[in-house]
Structure 1
Amino acid sequence: MKKYEYKCVLILGMGGRTTRLLNEYGQQGWELVEVVWAWHYFKRPIE
């Protein structure tokens, strides 16, 4: 059974800033799961 760690991040701003932050989280192995207003929920597997 896979285990995950989760992170909730408030990202305010539009366009370039949001894109840059999402790309940074993606490079760190975080997968975007859901967005609710400006809250972005991520998960990544625990090894």
Structure 2
Amino acid sequence: MAIRAAEFGLPAAIGVGEQRYREVAQAQVLELDPPRQILRVIR
């Protein structure tokens, strides 16, 4: 997936860890701010 994201110039959260992945997978709305390296669950 990291390769695909890079090919299309899309930001991606890679290697966030198992616990963080579970939180993100259940979220409905996320904030992803690549320059500041922020991945936040909004809802």
- If the length of structure 1 is used for normalisation, what is the TM-score? 0.28
Structure with greater contact order relative to length (CA < 8 Å, sep ≥ 6): 1
Greater share of helix:
2
- If the length of structure 2 is used for normalisation, what is the TM-score? 0.29
